[in-house]
């Protein structure tokens, strides 16, 4: 592995924007209970407006989801998930945005694609719903496969690893193989180490420190550290020990965005876009230096 950091994606997903820098994906959670922004954009009109703001700020993709995946979260019914996500996806796609649907349900993914979504972000990597990879293959759209071991009610009990990076890579390879076997085209696959999904805070740091091993998998890598609890824990109030609340974690998120982009991440998934855009430009410029 060279000492130099590439500063721009080592690989791109065919059919999505390919700027000479990491892509920025802005999050639109249409949920009452997401850890980071739950309830902020729960009304469809507010969610659409937020998505349009993210696009105006430069987001390459907006990721719309109707299910919170925070530890312990209860799953909404499929109808409720549809009710939350689909109108927002329809409007944002009609406004010209590249929309991804953040869902673990094949039927929701199918409806979202019909409503104009261009890619599927499945945090279970196709494991939660046995039909998901078939739906993605049939639609001929890109998919993000995240490292995942179980639903939110039990994911924090599934944190045993021999070597977290090697194990995540091996498990992601299995998901890639499953996607290919279902007929998904290789150039439509991106992977994500799933920070916070069946990982301790230390595991998250190890994965981020060794991100370049994941980049060497030869598939585009998405990094979604934005506002996650391990940042709140790092930045806990020294006097009280109280965790920094999600809204106060954006500067730390931006710092990680520079590092991830320098290491060759394909896409950075964040709640606030402007500083992330600057971060990926800085990384790309540094990566363009010879030496
Ligand atoms: N994390 C959340 C939701 N969606 N999608 C991907 N690909 N990777 C993630 O780590 C991920 C995700 C957790 O909740 P948030 O929407 O508040 O960040």
What's the token pair of residue 57? 């700020």
CA of 224, closest atom in ligand 1: 10
**pLDDT at position 71, please?**
75
Say which range, 12-21, 116-125, 151-160, 184-193, has the weakest mean pLDDT. 151-160
**pLDDT at position 1, please?**
58
CA of 122, closest atom in ligand 1: 7
Best residue for ligand 1 mutational test, from 194, 269, 270, 273 (most atoms within 8 Å of Cβ): 269
CA of 27, closest atom in ligand 1: 16
Q: Taking CB atoms and a 6 Å cutoff, what residues make up the pocket around ligand 1?
A: 27, 29, 34-36, 69, 102, 121, 123, 144, 146, 192, 194-195, 222, 224, 226, 269
How confident is the model over 91-108, as pLDDT tens digits? 999 999 999 999 999 999
Domains and CATH numbers, the chain: 23-290 (3.20.20.20)
Distance 224 CA to ligand 1 centre (A): 6
**pLDDT at position 282, please?**
97
- List the catalytic residue out of 199, 228, 249, 285: 228
Nearest-CA residue for atom 11 of ligand 1:
224
Indicate if the pLDDT at residue 134 is higher than 60.
Answer: yes
Over range 1-10, report the average pLDDT.
Answer: 83
**pLDDT at position 2, please?**
65
Distance 225 CA to ligand 1 centre (A): 8
Q: Is 244 a catalytic residue?
A: no
Nearest-CA residue for atom 13 of ligand 1:
69
Over range 232-260, report the average pLDDT.
Answer: 97
Percentage above 70 pLDDT, the chain:
98
Band of the pLDDT at 32, cuts 50, 70, 90? confident
Q: Is 83 a catalytic residue?
A: no
**pLDDT at position 70, please?**
79
**pLDDT at position 33, please?**
78
**pLDDT at position 153, please?**
86
Nearest-CA residue for atom 6 of ligand 1:
123
- Reference 140, options 13, 226, 266; nearest CA is 13
| Cα four-point dihedral sign 52, 56, 57, 62 | positive
d(CA 56, CA 3): 36
How confident is the model over 48-70, as pLDDT tens digits? 999 999 999 999 999 999 998 87
CA of 225, closest atom in ligand 1: 10
Residues whose CB falls within 8 Å of the CB of residue 49, separated by 6 or more in sequence, listed in order: none
């Amino acid at each position: 592995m060279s000492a130099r950091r590439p500063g721009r994606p080592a690989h791109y997903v065919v059919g999505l924007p390919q700027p000479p820098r990491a892509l920025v994906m802005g999050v639109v959670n249409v949920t009452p209970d997401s850890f980071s922004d739950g309830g902020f954009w729960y009304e469809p009109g507010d969610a659409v407006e937020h998505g349009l703001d993210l696009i105006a700020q430069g987001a390459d993709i907006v990721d719309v989801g109707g299910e919170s995946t925070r530890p312990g979260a209860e799953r909404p019914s499929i109808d409720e998930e549809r009710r939350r996500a689909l109108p927002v996806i329809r409007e944002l796609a009609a406004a010209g945005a590249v929309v991804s649907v953040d869902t673990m349900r094949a039927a929701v993914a199918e409806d979202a694609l019909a409503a104009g979504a261009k890619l599927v972000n499945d945090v279970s990597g196709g494991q939660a719903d046995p039909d998901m990879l078939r739906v993605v293959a049939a639609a001929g759209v890109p998919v993000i496969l995240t490292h995942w071991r179980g639903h939110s009610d039990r994911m924090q009990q599934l944190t045993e690893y021999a070597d977290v990076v090697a194990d995540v890579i091996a498990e992601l390879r299995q998901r890639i193989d499953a996607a290919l076997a279902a007929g998904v085209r290789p150039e439509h696959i991106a992977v994500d180490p799933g920070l916070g999904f069946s990982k301790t805070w230390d595991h998250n740091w190890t994965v981020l420190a060794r991100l370049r091993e994941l980049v060497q998998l030869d598939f585009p890598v998405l990094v979604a550290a934005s506002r996650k609890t391990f940042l709140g824990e790092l930045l806990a109030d020294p006097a009280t020990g109280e965790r920094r609340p999600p809204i106060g974690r954006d500067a730390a998120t931006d710092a990680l965005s520079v590092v991830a982009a320098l290491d060759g991440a394909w896409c950075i998934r964040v709640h606030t876009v402007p500083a992330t855009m600057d971060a990926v430009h800085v990384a790309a410029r540094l990566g363009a230096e010879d030496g």
